[in-house]
Amino acid sequence: MPFDVGIDIGGTNTKIGVVDAQGRVVARRRIATQAGRGPRKALDRVAEAVKLLAATRRVRSLGVGIAGLVDTATGVVRVPPNLPGWHGFAVGDFLAKATGLETRCTNDVNAVTLGEWLHGAGLGCRDLFCLTLGTGVGGGAIVAGKLLLGANDAAGELGHTVIFGNGLPCRCGGVGCLERYVGSDYIVQRARQRVRAQKQRVRSHRHQVEMFGGPGAEKPSVLVDLTGRGRPRLSVKEVGRAARDGDPLALELVREVGEYVGIALVNVVALLDPERIVIGGGVSGLGPPLLDAARRTVMRRGQIFTGRRLRIVLSQLGGDAGVIGASRLAGQLGPA
């Protein structure tokens, strides 16, 4: 049985998987990217891991997903956000020579999109949009059964579309970007701000009689125990757990994130008319409260007419989506 290898290169870790024809990861490795050592040293280690995994199997091709803008024809990565010194490096050529395998490269979210389309939550769709929510926010699209790349291999960058014209500054240099409101770092930042505000309200009204139901009656969020000096670092995972347990402060925050996501998806629906939208990435772990809020916003603000085919769902492949999708690049993009 022939296999293909998929690689998902991130700023911190690189995931490598051998994938069979049914989209199952049959062997895997996870290594530290060590991106700061430069692309050659980092990719030498990746190539060695690939050769070890492929030693006892008939491997046809190698596919790579990388955060950043990637020239799919040449395998050159451009402005990767978490890979300092990698701009302009020909990742595809390097790995092809190092492994002896036909190698194709694309943006990491394009790889996730292919994975979900071919083997996950987007299976059977002709028109699909995939949104990934994490430290960064990315998007990818299947249009009329084909991966949408754009004139510059830069299509689908939903994270840096604007949802507030005079909004907060984003790390990309713009203002009001979706990523600035739903990226994981910013969600945690807002959670900390709201916990501090709640603490202040409770202190300011500590003598208020609770029977009147004012701020003095407010119960501290469970997130209070996860903030402050000497306490565990608050993360999106804890915010999601608290929201699913009904914590009012966490639930309000997650619903707000879902609404921002929904605003962006209203624009996706208007532009691309997908039949399905898949939401993945670490922030999607916020779960049903996030998904429900995004759906409500799309239904309320979008052009939803009787008979319109549109479903918004969570990822099925989770952390394997990028590896599985990358393994399919040779078949989808053609020979290198």
Ordered DSSP codes for 309-332: --EEEE-SSGGGHHHHHHTTHHHH
**Cα atoms found within 13 Å of the Cα of residue 63, Cβ hemisphere only:** 33
C-alpha–C-alpha distance, residues 304 and 131, integer Å: 20
Instruction: Over range 168-184, report the average pLDDT.
Output: 94
Task: Quickly count: other Cβ atoms within 10 Å of residue 233's Cβ.
Answer: 8
Tokens matching residue 286: 């916020």
- 123-315 has the same fold as 2-117+320-333: yes
CATH class of 2-117+320-333: alpha beta
- Evaluate if residue 213 carries a pLDDT over 80: no
Inter-axis angle of helices 91-99 and 39-54, to 10 degrees?
A: 40
The predicted-structure confidence for 10-19, as pLDDT tens digits, reads as follows 989 999 999 9
Every domain of the chain and the residues it spans:
2-117+320-333, 123-315
Rg (CA), the chain: 22
Give the tens place of pLDDT for each residue, 237-296: 999 999 998 999 999 999 999 999 999 999 999 999 999 999 999 999 999 999 999 999
Domain spanning 123-315: CATH 3.30.420.40: yes
The rounded distance, in Å, linking the Cα atoms of 62 and 17 is 10
Predicted confidence (pLDDT) at residue 195 exceeds the cutoff of 70: yes
Q: Are 113 and 141 in contact (CB under 8 A)?
A: yes
Q: Which of 226, 219, 189 is nearest to 202 (CA)?
A: 219
Residues ≥6 apart with Cβ < 8 Å to 197 = none
Give the single-character DSSP code of 306. Answer: T
Band the pLDDT of 211: cuts 50, 70, 90. Answer: very low
> Tens digit of pLDDT for each residue in 51-104?
999 999 999 999 999 988 999 999 999 989 889 999 999 999 999 999 999 999
Instruction: Report residue 172's pLDDT band, with 50, 70 and 90 as the boundaries.
Output: confident
Measure Cα distances from 320 to 92, 102, 134, 323 in Å. Answer: 21, 21, 15, 5
